[in-house]
Every structure is written in structure tokens, then in C-alpha cells.
Chains A and B, each alone.
Chain A
Amino acid sequence: MQQGRDAEGRTGRRTILKAAGASLAVAGLGATATACGGGSGSGDGTVTIRYSWWGAEDRAERINKTIALFEKKYPKIKVKTDFQQYTDFWKKFNTQASGGNPPDVFQNAIGFLRKYDAKNVLLDLGEQVKAGNLSMGGFRAGLEKFGEVDGKLLGVPVGSNSLALVIDKPVYTKAGVTPEQGWTWDDFDAAMVRIRDRAGRAGDSGMYGVMYLYDLYLRQNGKAFFTEDGLGFTEADLTEWWTKAEKGVKTGLYADAKKVVQVKPKSALSAELAGSEFTWDNFTVRYTSEGKSEYGLAPIPTTDGKKTGQYLGSLMLSASKRTQHPKEVAQFIDFMVHDPEVAKIMGYDRGVPATEAQYQAYQPTDPVNQAIAAYEESLVEAGVLETITPHPNGADICEAAFLRIAEEMALGKRSVSEAVEQFFTESKTALAG
């Protein structure tokens, strides 16, 4: 009796073990199936590439339209997309890239080229140019050189933009200020006073934290923010820059930092906290949809009345070194930078199109985009444009620290000397890493 029960019991357990085994096997199959589905190749030769960028909804809509065009022309290539806000984009990208799973193709900028090249993430697109999958001809104003670092082609520009002073037109008119190419910093300072006194608004939104503007100021004085491997200015330089800033905040020439912080992610300009703001010229498009006023572009003030230190900045498309489909990625980039239809859809959302073909294809009809085109034209005509050295590894952390510490200084939480000291300490760590 006992024996029989024991045997029965065992069979029972065996059944359970079998069942468990079977379910594990099913789970295993499931996993395999998922793995297959997630892969980017399939039987009929169709490949899927992943494309990610930063920007707002508006840009996403435009980009999706361009992708639809691309997929129509290249039916064997499918594009999977992903987008975030700027800072979130880089956090996600960093995590994906370190896990060996970066998107095949992605939006990139000058501050990240050396950083990710040092980390072995970026594909040298030069090979694809040689193979004929990507053309680097027909770019405007020498832009084809923009994504080159140490002889490697790490990014292809999709548009060009330049730093400008975006102004609230009615405010400037009310104050009776008309900025012109070649105006000096003294003229600018006088304008700030007039805007505060006559228009009842701070003149600027906080330019002391804009790394790219400070870079121009340094260039006007024969220096630069970054050298190839470090900082190109001294503590005395920064002390001068921030001392003036502190005074400007205290006297109401520059906007109250406390309020500027709170309107984020809206800009201080479109929130009517300031009469103007130094930023990229293509941001005028964004400010126009964000704010109620009419916005225009003014030139960068100079030290000597001539040299602005400006260069064309640019968003780029880069590819991952780990991509399984370098050829398709190159074809995709080629399409995005050369196809005239793409330019008609994108407009000046990512700056003025980088290639001559796309530049010709899109003629802006609205005043905002026309102003941007005119502004960039004027830069070319004035012959102020220079070239830029790709930022060193760690530059992005320096930029974030520069902005943050300037803000702390403006909020009165740090004296100028403390702020300068803190910035140099932090950037030394960042640039050494």
C-alpha cells in the first residue's frame, strides 16, 4: 500500500515537473520569437534602421513626413524613430550607446563629436562616401568640412545656423534702438539701459551663461572658449565677464534670474521678461510660436566694430559604429541632406539647409523664415564667418556647468569669485575625464 502510494505520488510529481519543463520551454520559445521579431533583418531583404533626434512635437511631425518620402523611394528600408527633449535625448543616448545599442542614425552636434569619437561610438562615414552611398558634394559655405574630426567624417550637416541677438521688435522700437552690423559692446550696453528705462523691461535674458556667446566674445579678443584639449581663457577673463553680468542683474538691465528659471522651458524672451536674447537664429521660429510679440534678428555686438567671431553652427546626422547596415544608413543620410522635397517639409526648423539643392528648393514666404535667411545672407556678405574647432571631450559637461554656475551667480547664491573658481574646478575635472 505504502509503496503504491509512493509510486503514485512520484508520478504526480513527475507530471508536474514535466509541466514545468514544458512551460519553461514555451517561455524559451517565446523569448526566441521575440528576439527574432526585434532583429532588423528579415527574409525579403528589408532592413530596419533606427533614427533618433531631439526636438519638440513640431519637428517630429516634419521628420515623420520626410521619412514617409524616404520609405517610398527606398521600399527595402524601414525607419523606426524616437525623439526626446535635448537633455533627455543625451541621457538616453548615453545609456543606449554604453549598452552597445545606440540608434543606427541620430541627430548630433559639434559639442559631442570628440566625446563620442573617443568612446568609439561614431561611424567614419568617409568609407560610405568612397563607396558612393553618400555624397558630400554641393554643400554651402564649406559645411561639408563641419563634421570632420582628425580626418574622419563623423557627422553630416543637415542645416546651418548662427548665433544672433533675437529681439522683441516692438520693445526695441519703443526704446528707439536700431542695432546694426558692426555695433560695439558699448553700443549694446547703452541699448540695454535705454530698453530698461524707456520700455520698462530688462534688455537681456541672461547672456552671461550662454557659452556660445562668451566664445564669440573671446574670439573677438583673440582667444576662444575651447582649445583642442582644454579651456582657452583665464580666470581673470571670466571674472571680467561675470562681474559685468552681476552688475547688470542687480541694476535690472538683465532679467531677474528667479523669474527666468520659473518660465522654463519657455524662454525669457517669449515670456516677456527680457527685450532680447542671444541664441541660435533658427530659434526665432520657436519663439514666434511660443510668444505673442513679433521677433526679429540683430547682429552680434563687436569689440572693434568689425570682427564678430561668428561661425556657422550646425545640426548633423551621425551614424553608429555598431550599425549592421552602414550602407542603408548612408543612403538615408544622403537622402535627408540632398533631397529637395525634404527641404520643403523641414523649412528652417534645423537651420538653413546645408546643401545648395535644398537651399534652393525652399524659399521662405513667411517673415520669420525670411528674416533668418536674410540674416545668414548678411553674415556671408559681411565676411565675418570663421571656422570652428571641434570641442574637446568633456565640453558638454563644461557647457552645463557654465550655465548652471552663471545662474547661481545671478541668483545671488555665489559671488563672482566663487563662481569663477567653481567653474574652473568643475571644468578641469570634466576635461580630464
Chain B
Amino acid sequence: MTKPSNISHKVSRRAILKSGAAATTLAMLPLWAGRAEAACGTLRAGITGYNVINTLDPAQTTLIPESYVVWGVFNCLLKFDESMNIVPDLAESYESVSPTILRFKLREGVKFHDGVEMTSADVKFTLDRLRDDATASPHQSKFAPISEIRTPDAYTVEIETAEPFAPMLSYLTNTRTGSQIVPMHLLKDGTPDDFATNPVGTGPFKLTEYQPGASLTLAKHTEYFEDGLPMVDIVEIPLIAEESAGVTALLGGSIDLTSTAPFADIPDLENDDRVQVLKAPGTNTRFISVNNAVAPFDDVHFRRAVSMAFDRQAMVDVVLFGEGRTANGVVPNSISWAATQDAPAETMMNPEEALKELALSKYGAGTEATVLTWGSGWWKRFAEVFVLQVNQVLGVNFTVEVSDSGTVYQRKQAGDFQASIWGWLGLIDPDEYAYEIYHTNGSRNYEKYSNPQVDALLEEARRILDLGPRGELYRQAEALAIKDCPVLPCFESNVHNLLAPKVQGFVQRPYSGFGAQLAEVKDC
């Protein structure tokens, strides 16, 4: 066991020191050939593929790696288990009092990292803060349906929405929605400047160090409410920008665990006894986004022709190295109660039908269009594989334009595009996919699609709390929408974690969860 230490930036320091101690001088090195190892008690969990963290204030988080840390430092009222069931977290139970009122019973005796007890006042404060214009939270609109929050006593919270609003329950779980409970006593007079880099929550870990762009260190929250957790005392989190460097670091014994892994390496790593590969279907969707308002994608026949002119399984094989599955719609298959189960005809490669649809459209062979993409990795390949197939089948003349992701995003928001690759990751409720992409007023509807029948079904799905009938409404909405091909669903990728052979107890979450489940890691 190692003592918590307050020395900064010591990514894999123990590992190297332990190994380096055997070799006090470089000259002696050849005498020593031990593999670097972490003392148990310290878990070195690398965030790979990302290294920018701007804020750890849940109300302000926008980036995936920010969520990774926030999930370990805070709790929500509820959380998802590995099968994506909603289970208690800070709330030990909840009930639907009426279609518009959710009542939560809080655990008693939960302590923030500074020792102050968490009560219903903190829950009300957290949600009110998200809804407040002054907070300017990117998550504000998610909580706009709330009309009132009541706290009958210190351990009861009632959340009332103006209309029945089924997604609210998902929004209150530990995902990328900013609803992690923050301490009222520290923030009630305005958020101090340092809360973003010095957060205080109820989570299993508290932040002890942060070196921007380099590393974070977490220490066990000794008064955490779950008995026996966390099992590790210290979590060192190097921020490793390159996924491939994460693999190298793991194979070389510099870290114990990674947050992601490059698709291309998975087949090899699965046969490598120096590493455990965990994989599961991910909660994400990747599609070709087409601008329904401009030529040539303003013609439904042309969109259908394109949609049936490429093989999605070929994309999975070439782009993801087989690490994923074809998509039947925009709702990911891992949200099984709402996802379309059988591939619609419009999402299957069918050159004959595609050419028939092309003949019906006002555009023909030789039609030109630009497909936006970014980077040099699989996102670029995604666009190339799409364009290659469609040009071959339809005789059109699509080209790939490579830019950077920020620029592509800006152009999409401005409607300044014909087609682009696109995708959403780590959103949990089908509403966040189906409503936001297909609905006329959907906040992610960059395709400018509008269909009153689809809108009506999606609005109805927001009002039904029972998952069975609610999921059926999403399937009906998708079945209608997909006939118009407003977007061209392509594939869903697996989520991966790489672990050193000794690491035990890490349980994957399909929404790319990382952080919270580090509390359950036993051996490292």
C-alpha cells in the first residue's frame, strides 16, 4: 500500500521508481529486466484518445474526458448498471406519483468530500442551477421541462414537469447530462472560480491533483456511502492523447487500464496474453448526414438511391475492423427497448432498387456532391468508403472534403453543407437520438428534416413513462422516418477497455462509462 502523496504530476512514477530503484545507474540496467508494476492501492487508469479537460463542474461539461472524471467524483440520483437498467445511486428509491411528478427518496448520511452531509436541498439547488440562465449551462434545455422542485423533507425530492416528460429519468442518471449533485454550501453565492478544477462531490473519489493536458490524481473518498468502496486508494489518470500510445503504455507496464482502444489493434490484442480486452456493443450511432434542404439531397428518391447504394457491413469491416455492427436506425441497438430490430429495406445495399430510385429522382448519373469529413483516422476512412461505393453503384461523382471537426460542425450548424459523416456518442435516452435528429425542432436536426406524422409520434413518446409502449412509438417513428432517408444510418461501434492481466473488478458500461466503475476495481 502506498500513502497518498501531494507531490504533483507523478504519472506512473511509482512504476518507474520501483523498477528504477533496482537500477540506480543506467550502466547497471542490463542487469535488470523486470516489468514495471504498480503497487496495489494505486490504479493507473489512462484516459486515451483525449487529453483536453476544460472543466470538472458538471453543469459546464461538454467533452467526453471531462465526463470520465466527473463520473468518478460525483453521483447522480440514479445510475445505469452494465445492462443499462436504471438503478439507485444517491436516491435509494423513486416513484412516479403522477404522469408529471417524480418522487425520490434519498439515502441518509451521504457525505460530500468536505464532510458536509448531502440532502434534498443540494438536489434542488443542483437542478435549479442547471435551469438558471446565469449558469449558462450547455445542459440547460434538458431541464427546461421542469416546472417545480419541492423538498418536503431533508431526504425527499419531488420533481414536477409542466407536461409528462419521459426522458427526465434518463437525464437524472449518471451520464453526460450535467445532473451530478453539487454542494449547495459551496456554490450558493455563485460558483467560485476554482470549482472547475477543484470539484467537490459525493463520489467515490476526490480530486487531489490536476495538471492540465497531462494528468489527474484521484484519492479515495473515505466516507463514501457504498460499503467497502472504493477498493483502491489512489487513481492516477494520465491523459494520453493518442489511442495507440495508450496501447504502448499498457503493454510496457506504464498503466493498468485504458478508457478506449484503437479499433485496428483489437483483433491482435485479443490474442495477446499481456492484455485483457473488454468489449461490448456501444451506445452510439454513426451516420451520413445529408442536407435535405439543398441539392441533390432535397430529393427523397435521390436520398433513397444513395442509401441503398452502399454496403454497411463493408463499412464495419473496413472502418471499424469488424468492431461494431450495422445500424438499423439512429436509436442504437444497445437501447434495445426502443431500437428498430430488423434492418429496413432502405438501409440495405440493393443496386437494382437504388438505380430505380435514381431514375425517379430529378438528378442522375454524374451528379456532384461533397461529403465533409475530418482528421486522418477512421472518420476519414468512413467518408472514403461511402463515396467509393456510391460512385461505383450510381455513377454519381461524390468527393470527400477533409477539414477539421470544429469547422465541419460550424458548417453543419450554419446549413453550409451537402453531406457529412456524423455521429453521437454516449447519449442514453432514445429521445436524445430520435427526437433530436428527426423532429422538426430537434436540436440535432441539422438535416432540416420535417415530417408532421413523425413529429406527432415522437411527441407522444415523451409523454409515456412505460418503456414497452414508449419504445414501440420510437420504432414507429423510425419506420416512418427511414422511408424518407433524412439521414443514412451506417453503423454502431463497440466500446473497448484494455486492462493489464492482474486488474480485476472493472465492469464496462455501454455508454463509454469510465470513472465511476474504477471504485469497484480490486486488483491492480
Pairing of A with B: no
- The interface of chain A, by Cβ under 8 A from chain B, is none
